[in-house]
Amino acid sequence: MSEPDGPLVLGIETSCDETGVGIVRGRTLLADAVASSVDEHARFGGVVPEVASRAHLEAMVPTVERACETAGVRLHDVDAIAVTSGPGLAGALLVGVAAAKALALALGKPIYGVNHLAAHVAVDQLEHGPLPEPCLAMLVSGGHSSLLRVTDVTTGVQPMGSTIDDAAGEAFDKVARLLGLPFPGGPHIDRVAREGSSVYVDFPRGLTSRRDLERHRFDFSFSGLKTAVARWVEARERSGEPVPVADVAASFQEAVCDVLVRKALDAARSEGIEDLLIGGGVAANSRLRAMAEERAAGLGIRVRVPRPGLCTDNGAMVAALGAEMVARGRTASSLDLPADSSMPVTEVLAG
């Protein structure tokens, strides 16, 4: 180990449309370089896998160089290479995994293929210190809405609930499109909603009826909510009345956040857990943060949310989980580790 205060690890993240390279020493963030291809996808209204893969290829080397320059380290200085092995877009993952294998082989360093979702949990340690064990993690993004019981972020991540159709971030993107807002929809709905009324429309809360809670107590569904917004907007347009974008955005956002927070706190109480961690891109939403902190305080549950820049996909989260793997003496992955687009969250480290 090159430093007494923790392993020096370089992390690579390419699961979707952002090329992220992070460098951490122990639990200290040294560099977080990100090259996003979101502008290239905006005209399509969503991420195009082939476009994302090509963007990763072009951005990989300069992003690695920028991270090393920011951290003030040379590649030969690192103790290990960590990379997102899955889940994610297959082609995009392959670019990152191939780059990580090349670096590990050329530098003679161990490689750790880690789970994208577990990395979203681990990144909080860079800001708030060691994770309480156990803790309840709620991860919300464009592809995932998950509740996880975490006893050891390197080995003990157990799913309690997940999305059964549209994830929260996906619903934000689709509703933004209905309201004429740019892609990605989350930040724009958050911004516009501040000028609207959250009770203007009483949109449905998915999987919260008594019957639903018997089968899907900790699962999420936002497809029905998205459809309800679409029908409300269409009815308004047919009547010739203007669509109050800010009010619809605020009402939609309130419905999403209400369900997320309600189920997360219910899961925490059911397990007797006093610490709730919120991660993923949607964790940057201001209303979600405020609602979670307000409701959790009344139940004696502590809430941890990384700053917005660490909520979205980034290399720092991969490096953070990799450093934890090294520090806890986990066996490194082999050089033939796969890019697994459907990697289960229970598999924190690829073989």
The residues spanned by each domain of the chain are 8-123+314-327, 135-306
Average pLDDT of the chain is: 96
pTM metric for this prediction: 0.95
Closest CA relative to residue 318, chosen from 151, 114, 139: 114
User: Using an 8 Å Cβ cutoff, are 273 and 163 in contact?
Assistant: no
Contacts of 106 (CB under 8 A, 6+ apart): none
Percent with pLDDT over 70 in the chain: 99
* Cross-strand bridge partners of residue 8: 25
The residues, any chain, with a CB within 8 Å of residue 91's CB and separated by 6 or more, are 49, 50, 52, 53
- The residues with which 333 forms a beta bridge, in sequence order, are 111
Q: What's the pLDDT score for residue 4?
A: 61
Residue from 106, 112, 98, 220 nearest 170 by CA: 220
> How far is 141 from 249, CA to CA, in rounded Å?
18
Q: Which CATH superfamily is domain 8-123+314-327 in?
A: ATPase, nucleotide binding domain (3.30.420.40)
Q: Any residues with CB less than 8 A from the CB of 317 and at least 6 apart, and which?
A: 11, 13, 20, 22, 119, 120, 122, 123, 310
* Per-residue pLDDT at 116: 97
Best CA proximity match to 84, nearest among 10, 189, 174: 10
Classify domain 135-306 by CATH architecture.
Answer: 2-Layer Sandwich (3.30)
Per-residue pLDDT of the chain (351 residues; tens, 9 = 90+): 444 689 999 999 999 999 999 999 999 999 999 998 877 877 777 789 899 999 999 999 999 999 999 999 999 999 999 999 999 999 999 999 999 999 999 999 999 999 999 999 999 999 999 999 999 999 999 888 999 999 999 999 999 999 999 999 999 999 999 999 999 999 999 999 999 999 999 999 999 999 999 999 999 999 999 999 999 999 999 999 999 999 999 999 999 999 999 999 999 999 999 999 999 999 999 999 999 999 999 999 999 999 999 999 999 999 999 999 999 999 999 999 999 999 999 999 998
Q: In 10 A of CB 95, how many CB atoms?
A: 23
Matching fold, domains 8-123+314-327 and 135-306: yes
What CA–CA distances, in Å, run from 106 to 1, 62, 290, 291?
18, 18, 46, 48
The confidence score (pLDDT) of residue 130 equals: 96
pLDDT, one tens digit per residue, over 263-321 is 999 999 999 999 999 999 999 999 999 999 999 999 999 999 999 999 999 999 999 99
What pLDDT does residue 1 have?
Answer: 44
